[in-house]
Amino acid sequence: MNNSKINQLKDNAFKYFGIGCTLFGILVLGYFLVNIAIEGIARINWQFITSLPSRIPGKAGILPALIGTLWILGLTAVIAIPIGVGAGIYLEEYAKKNRLNNILEINITNLAGVPSIIYGLLGLEIFSRIMSMGGSLLAGASTLSLLILPIIIVATRESLKAVPKSLREASFALGATKWQTTWMQILPASSGGIVTGVILALSRAIGETAPLIVIGALAYVPFVPSSPTDEFTVMPIQIFNWISRPQKGFIINSAAAILVLLLVTFLMNGIAVYLRNRWQKKVKW
């Protein structure tokens, strides 16, 4: 066999190796999901969704955790969206290229790399203790808002960047102010990308466990939170709690709860991907 044939062979071999690697992660995840579905799917029923936690696995449910997660989702959205989009607008549309704004930018990239548990320590001191929010929904949502702000800011900036200069010029030339131009033209034109980024960020927030544990979210919550100052738990913490129990029944519960959590997460990601594709198709300036 000559050299060039060996090279051809190597080339082809890598092709199949590459397909194998690409599918490996996906197949492993698929295997995990099938595994968890077999374990948990039978446990999902109305009782499971609507019951409070219990010492008996068969009687336990995820109601407080599910409602807690929805609360966290809503509150985090209310806090993080205006601040994140506002910051994105400032950095992309208003900020001049000077040192101060350069620092603001580097800073945000840096924050995206800070481990989530560190945000937990920040929230514990600032929100829970100094602002005396304790282990409340508000403290949790504030902490998670800080965590996902970098994602929202970056997504906002990318979307704003995609709006062509001609649109801004058209608006300015008619006598619109900067804010009128931003609010009436640029934001609507970039909304698809911003919404996509926001949904992805929020889906990240509802999957977070560690920072909420650190700020003092409870593992055992026998009530449904009804106001932002209430103490709470969320789906991931409930899952963590059940995984840590030795009884088989709780493991099954955790598998079932994971299925519910994954359903919500995948749904949000799916919507985000759908919106992104639609937006990319629509935007052809």
Cα(204)–Cα(200) distance, integer angstroms = 6
Query: How would you class 269 by CB atoms within 10 Å of its CB: exposed for 0-12, middle for 13-18, buried for 19 or more?
Result: middle
In the DSSP assignment, the letter for residue 246 is -
Q: Where are the beta strands (DSSP E) in 67-115?
A: none
Closer to another protein by Cβ: residue 54 or 180:
180
Closer to another protein by Cβ: residue 227 or 273:
273
Cβ 74 to another protein shortest distance, Å: 18
Nearest Cα neighbor of 212 from 268, 263, 260, 142 is 142
Cα(211)–Cα(217) distance, integer angstroms = 9
Closer to another protein by Cβ: residue 42 or 170:
170
Cβ 139 to another protein shortest distance, Å: 13
> What Rg do the C-alpha atoms of the chain give, in angstroms?
23
State whether residue 224 is helix, strand or coil.
coil
Cβ 55 to another protein shortest distance, Å: 18
Cβ 194 to another protein shortest distance, Å: 14
Q: Is the dihedral of CA 219, 220, 226, 227 positive or negative?
A: negative
Closer to another protein by Cβ: residue 71 or 253:
253
Cβ 107 to another protein shortest distance, Å: 4
Closer to another protein by Cβ: residue 170 or 226:
170
Cβ 40 to another protein shortest distance, Å: 10
- How far CA 110 is from CA of 24, 65, 88, 115, in Å, comes to 31, 32, 15, 11
Closer to another protein by Cβ: residue 47 or 109:
109
